[in-house]
Structure 1
Amino acid sequence: MSDIASTAAVDDRIGRPTGGRPGLTLAALGSAGLVVSLQQTLVLPLLPRMQREFHTSVSSVAWVFTATLLAGAVATPLLSRFGDMYGKKKMIMLTMVVLLVGSVICALSTSLGLLVAGRALQGASSAVIPLAIGTIRDTFPRERVTAAIGVVSATLGVGGALGMLVTGVVAEHTDTHRPVFWISAAMALVGLILVILFTQEAGVRAGGRPDIVGALLLAGFLVALLLGISQGNDWGWSDGRTVTLFGVAAVLAVVWIMVERRVAEPLVQLRLLAGPQSLSANIASLMLGFALFGSFSLVSQFIQTPEEVGYGLSGSVLDVGLYMLPSTITMLVFSALAGPLEARLGAARTMALGSFVAALAFVWLAVNHDSGADLLIFSGVQGIGVGVAYAALGTMAVQHVPMDQSGIASGVNALVRTGGGSIASAATAAVLAGQVIKDTGVPSVDGYVICLFFAAGAALLASVLGAAESMRQRTP
């Protein structure tokens, strides 16, 4: 290649191309992120229907959702590391193919076990978001990086709310779960084509080898922890099986940390997980993941609960999506405004502001849940808070790390966020299963209120962490 061509293709300081079409690239990456986040919540309005179809319990059917988050928590740091090693575009394409295959398996499934397996494959696609953020940092002009990261980060919330609306529309005209997965497969294919056509490979390759042992230990830890949480009410919290699972989780966590500290090329660099520049962003991500994914599950079930039991809205699957529509709209609008807000306040303070607004929304719904208007107010306000907070969180995750580690840094942040969502899914299912109306299997309203206050507390903690980090950064 000639010197002129080399200069046109790559900025020799940071490995960033100076040409390209940032608008089309952002559209492709945003579409891929939207499809991935959409599939995470696609099943939530259908869980009551699946519970009846497969003749299973609330805690068991919850694994249709939890398995996706669990697989994402394990696959995200591994594929993000692969992105830094082999190229982020290649890994985004691979994850979209895995999403496509998982969607087809779910569409063809005839048993709960096969459905959970397909959902696990879908969950591996969660790595698309951090890989997309790394790609933006590698390829976009400096002045557009913050806003572009905000757009992609916000697809997590937008797609989650939109997924329930899509499911509601489809479920209104069908009596099975299969059509929504065919839609997911088609959208994955479109996203894959857009990524192939409009993204480019760039950035410094980190090299190295994958930490397979670390990935297996992390998977074992998360499976043991979440299985213990989800089955605690059914087995008993002092039952030997529950205690054993928590013990195994603790041991695996310790072993995993020891391995990650000693291996030359760890799956998760602990300084990116708990270092002084990353800890606040990662704990905030954990809390926001817990709050957001917990609320998706709670709201879906609450809306569909028959009013005859003393609460609920007797809503349909479509109603779930419609009630969450204000959240989709406000997330779209305010995630776009997050970039200018970050420029004025900084990423940490912007994240703190968004998290505080989200906490107010959860408190509102915990106290006011008697009418559809209460749900609509919650949905709109939550969308504002989450849209701003998630957009800023994407910037916080990568702003202090070298360019060749942007993928894994964003991946670690996504790991803890997905881990928070996994814990929320299992924990809320456990609380609702333990708070039931006498002589029925229906959760009491108190169970929902408890879970919503937990979500509010998690979002509030994220806000406090963001404010503290902002003050720390301003201290000389």
Structure 2
Amino acid sequence: MAQRTNPEHAPLRAAPQEAGATAARSANPWLVVISLSIAAATASIQQSAVLPLLPRLQESLHASVTSVTWAFTVSLLCGAVATPLFSRFGDMYGRRRMLLLTLVLLVGGSVLGAVSTSVTTLIVARVLQGISAAMVPLAIGTVRDLLPPEKMASGIGVLSATMGIGVGVGFLLSGVIAEVTSGYRVVFWIIAGLALAATALTALTVHDVTPPTGGRPDLPGAILLASTLVCLLLAISQGKSWGWGSGAVIGLFIGAVVLGAAWIAVERRTAEPLVDISMLTHRGTVGASLASMLLGFALFSGFTLLPNFAQTPAKAGYGFGASVLGAGIYLLPTTILMLLVSTLAGGLIRRFSAANMVAVGAVLAALSDVWMVLRHDHSYDLYITTTLLGLGVGCAFAALGTMAVEHVEASKTAVASAVNSLVRLVGGSIAGAVTSAVLTSDTIANTKIPTLHAYQVSFAIAAVSVALAAAFAAFFGWLNKRTAASADAAR
């Protein structure tokens, strides 16, 4: 009997096997999962490792706060554009080739960052590094092709969780380097070395299961998407300094709306679009997309706010005057728990469903933010917060990858995963801009130190974000389950 492929509730299974797929599967697929997890974690490290170094970058490169902040934001921005573009390239030219290309660009960007002597060079380096964010959907597509159905959720869960793990490791890496050096270049050299090792490991272990399909890239869609995000993020990040009512800021917001509308129009008319707009509104994926964007916002808010809070001198009336390494140690529970939870993801998803896992994880993450709003006077408050954040984000991100693809046709796996990664990176990019705007708009008199109230507002915004993520995941999980049950009853 032929197996159904109803796009509203396609079974979670591997893509149709082509010639050679059986051989590829027989070559220890978990070695491939481990290799891709290492590569994805390395790509995530570059997203956070630069954050603790921003003051040093400002001093070493004689740059403004805004300029060096863009060294962080531009990586997320480029990742948001590169994710759907390279996912499409993966279908056209082969995922293995695109995985290796993103890793080579990560090596090149890291080396360029290590030798940079100006903000311009550094930003170019961060652009090259940011492209490596496309690795996650490429890796998820590879794993879904490779693993049998009963192992797929575990494999995707491990891959999905590596993003948060890498972010935590990035902070620890910067902290250790900050303790033993006075510059920033060593961090970039270490990332270059890790990326080079990940490139070699990927080249040795990863092979395409399905052949490339060919086609044409949607470059106009990529340009319009990048322009939309630049206008939006620039308006948010510069609102305080330029004035929220200024012509420049209002013009940027209007530009973001106009360019965004043009992007949607172009994508709907393009035969092979950068982003399948229907996938954004697909009943099987819209819940995962909304949850992913809101969780991305909360995760990057947490990883931005918590280290800064910990490093604030106690004379400000809050904070602990921690070193960069000390701030990274506060985040250690999050990193460890995300890794542990990801290893249990497969069994938990089979028992409770991916949507319920995302909802529960989002609730725990919301509690971590609420705790920081209400309790922040002792070191153990930070450890309680990062423990809740690790459990919550670990559960949610380990299941998001499965939730994003389990209700679409197997042939749409890469597209659905790319859309999910795109909206997560957009959420993270907006988080950086919003957090910066809130903290810089409410400072202690005659200083540039944010007030305690500014942090409480920022944590409250993050709490609302993940609470909404929990609601969306629960509702659309219930809706998809009911739709599937109705379809089965009709047959």
Q: TM-score scaled to structure 1, two decimals?
A: 0.95
Whether 1:369 and 2:376 are equivalent positions in the alignment is yes
1:75 Cα deviation from its structure 2 partner = 0.5
From 193, 203, 206, the counterpart of 2:200? 193
From 429, 444, 447, the counterpart of 1:440? 447
**Counterpart Cα distance in 2 of 1:220 and 1:76:** 15
Number of the residue aligned with 1:51: 58
Any runs of at least 4 consecutive aligned residues in structure 1 with deviations exceeding 6 A, and if so which? none
- Superposition map of 1:17-416 within 5 A: 17=22, 18-203=25-210, 205-416=212-423
**Counterpart Cα distance in 2 of 1:84 and 1:145:** 20
**Counterpart Cα distance in 2 of 1:138 and 1:288:** 26
- Counterpart of 1:172 in 2: which secondary structure? helix
Aligned length: 466
Amino acid at match of 2:154: A
From 460, 466, 470, the counterpart of 2:467? 460
From 9, 14, 19, the counterpart of 2:17? 14
1:57 Cα deviation from its structure 2 partner = 4.5
Q: TM-score scaled to structure 2, two decimals?
A: 0.92
- Counterpart of 1:51 in 2: which secondary structure? helix
Q: 1:139·1:203 contact (CA, 8 Å) conserved in 2?
A: no
Which has the higher mean CA deviation after the structures are superposed, 41-50 or 188-197?
41-50
Amino acid at match of 1:327: T
**Counterpart Cα distance in 1 of 2:112 and 2:440:** 29
1:409 Cα deviation from its structure 2 partner = 1.6
**Counterpart Cα distance in 1 of 2:124 and 2:309:** 27
- Counterpart of 1:200 in 2: which secondary structure? coil
Please list every run of 5 or more consecutive structure 1 residues that lacks an aligned counterpart in the other structure. 1-10
Q: 1:84·1:408 contact (CA, 8 Å) conserved in 2?
A: no
1:200 Cα deviation from its structure 2 partner = 1.2
Number of the residue aligned with 1:450: 457
Amino acid at match of 1:410: S
1:144 Cα deviation from its structure 2 partner = 1.1
1:180 Cα deviation from its structure 2 partner = 0.3
**Counterpart Cα distance in 1 of 2:65 and 2:449:** 10
**Counterpart Cα distance in 2 of 1:114 and 1:131:** 28
1:118 Cα deviation from its structure 2 partner = 0.8
Q: CA RMSD in A?
A: 1.4
CA separation of 1:218 and 1:235: change in aligned 2, threshold 3 A: same
CA separation of 1:12 and 1:450: change in aligned 2, threshold 3 A: closer
Amino acid at match of 1:429: S
**Counterpart Cα distance in 2 of 1:295 and 1:117:** 26
In percent, how many aligned pairs have the same letter? 48
**Counterpart Cα distance in 1 of 2:327 and 2:122:** 22
1:126 Cα deviation from its structure 2 partner = 0.1
**Counterpart Cα distance in 2 of 1:186 and 1:100:** 8
Please list every run of 5 or more consecutive structure 2 residues that lacks an aligned counterpart in the other structure. 1-13, 487-491
CA separation of 1:424 and 1:13: change in aligned 2, threshold 3 A: closer
